[in-house]
Amino acid sequence: MRSIPAVLLLLILSPAGIGQTTAPISSDAATERELVRIAQALLDAVASGDKAVWEKHVADDLIYTDENWRILTKKQLLDSLAPLPKGYSGSIRVADVRSRINGDAAVLSYRVLEEEQIFGQKISPMYLVTDTYFRRNGRWQMIASHVIVRPSERKPVALNPKTCQAIVGEYELTGGVTYTITLEDDRLTGQRTGRAKEELLPADEYTFFPRGTIRGEKVFARDASGRVTHMLDRRENNDLVWKRVK
């Protein structure tokens, strides 16, 4: 049997030679990893107020919308960075990353999971972030970012069943559009015309909220005698009035 030339053997055993079984790393996957690394570095710099990290990775023409609904320039953002005050500590982690990459432009969407200790008490807020990056002069820089807070679901309070019974009935937004509230086995539910039932949980004796969502809070107004007269469907502090008809 003839021996295999050394050069040919090296080609067979090289990564190129076994490419059929080893998938190459795509440029988009590598870019996503780089952008996640940058995003995590920026978040890590928040607690320490390290402006140099943000200065490096953020474009001069940045548009930054923060969780307090402010639209900031790069200078305004950098000016707002400062170390956590005494008694505060914590960590922030990037999770659930999605990306869209096209040449020298990329969008990175992800959740930010925060663990914060404030004078010994722990809170765990979550943020949803969408960043836009441009590659300029061979380097990725954030050109825009939009940050929103995802509020934690509220905890219900205990109420006297009579309080819940007082709001049972039918409320009308307009002809043919009603919201019917029922109480079964101490479980309060509401159902809008054409939609599925939703469980209503009490925030207080006047205010209820649907399980599993932060929107659609229901506030019940009463007359001088204590009778419920109408329901306010509250969305981001904007009220739709539903008159009680039954």
- If asked whether residues 50 and 119 sit together in one domain, one would say yes
Bridge partners of residue 89, in order along the sequence: 117
194: containing domain: 161-244
Interval 128-174: pLDDT, tens: 999 999 999 999 999 999 999 988 888 899 888 888 899 999 999 99
pLDDT in tens, 7-63: 433 344 444 444 444 555 568 999 999 999 999 999 999 999 999 999 999 999 999
Identify whether residues 134 and 201 lie together within a single domain. Answer: no
Q: What is the pLDDT at residue 6? A: 47
Which CATH number is 139's domain given?
A: 3.10.450.50
195-239: per-residue pLDDT in tens? 999 999 999 989 999 988 878 899 999 999 989 999 999 988 899
Q: How many CA atoms lie within 13 A of 102 on its CB side?
A: 3
Report in angstroms the alpha-carbon separations of 51 from 43, 82, 115, 136, 223. Answer: 11, 8, 21, 21, 56
Strand partners, 112: 94, 127
Whole-number average pLDDT of the chain = 89
Residue 11 lies in a domain: no
Query: What is residue 37's predicted lDDT score, i.e. its pLDDT?
Result: 97
Q: What is the 3-state secondary structure (H, E, C) of the chain?
A: CCCCCHHHHHHHHCCCCCCCCCCCCCHHHHHHHHHHHHHHHHHHHHHHCCHHHHHHHEEEEEEEECCCCCEECHHHHHHHCCCCCCCEEEEEEEEEEEEEEECCEEEEEEEEEEEEEECCEEECCEEEEEEEEEEECCEEEEEEEEEEEECCCCCCCCCCHHHHHCCCEEEEEECCEEEEEEEECCEEEEEECCCCCEEEEECCCCEEEECCCCCCEEEEEECCCCCEEEEEEEECCEEEEEEECC
Regarding whether 104 and 50 lie in a shared domain, the answer is yes
Q: Where residue 93 falls among pLDDT bands split at 50, 70, 90?
A: very high
Q: Are 94 and 113 in the same domain?
A: yes
| Prediction pTM value | 0.75
pLDDT for position 136: 95
Which of these, 204, 205, 162, lies nearest to 186 by C-alpha position? 162
Q: Please count the structural domains in the chain.
A: 2
How confident is the model at residue 13, as a pLDDT?
44
- 188, burial (CB in 10 Å: exposed 0-12, middle 13-18, buried 19+): buried
4 pLDDT more than 50 = no
